[in-house]
Amino acid sequence: MKRATIVTVDISPASVDDLTEVFAIERRAFSDPWSVQSFREALSHPAVFFVCARKAGDRRSSVGEVAGYVVAWFVADEGEIANLAVDPSGWGAGVGQALLDAALAEGRRRGTAAVYLEVRDSNERARKLYHSRLFEEVGRRRSYYQHPVEDAIVLRRMLKQSDV
């Protein structure tokens, strides 16, 4: 298996100009992708943290080569990583780690005590990433995913405001 070279990325807020690239990655990464409309709605919601990772040095205003993105919600003292995807061509290069770390930092900034997410039972790559960031399994949702039908593993990360 070919391993991607670790890359440096810039994390910046997503914009409507990014949606074509975001949706293209979404379709390549997931068998049951979000709609463009779902991403569009996420852009304008104040509880949503929606950022893109771009390869460092690609700073053509807010438009650049999107390598991945994360969408998270933060309400009261809880957060949820709703969607995190990296273009498959960049898997293993640290883009997912950078995006997840940005979302966790935002959760701390907003005073979040716990962050949750669901991941396909079979998605070992993602599960390793989440466990590397101290997420723990707290439940299972039977037949949660469609295309194909599969259980979701519910993970939680408790945040301390002093976490780095």
Domains parsed from the chain with CATH numbers: 9-117 (3.40.630.30)
Q: What pLDDT is stored for residue 122 in this prediction?
A: 94
**What whole-number distance in Å separates Cα of residue 140 and Cα of residue 123?**
14
How much is the average pLDDT of 74-93?
A: 94
Q: At what angle do helices 36-43 and 19-29 cross, to 10 degrees?
A: 130
CB-facing half-sphere around the CA of 80: CA atoms within 13 A:
10
Percent of the chain residues past pLDDT 90, beyond the cut:
80
pLDDT confidence of 57, banded at 50, 70, 90? low
Nearest Cα to Cα of residue 103 among 125, 82, 132, 128:
82
pLDDT in tens, 142-163: 999 988 999 999 999 999 866 5
Single out the residue of 22, 151, 159 nearest to residue 103, CA to CA: 159
- What angle separates helix 95-109 from helix 124-132, to the nearest 10 degrees? 50
**Helical ranges in the chain per DSSP H:** 19-29, 36-43, 95-109, 124-132
The encoded tokens of residue 69 equal 């993105």
Condensed to tens digits (0 to 9), the pLDDT of residues 114-144 reads 999 999 999 999 999 999 999 999 999 999 9
- pLDDT tens figures, 84-124: 999 998 899 999 999 999 999 999 999 999 999 999 999 99
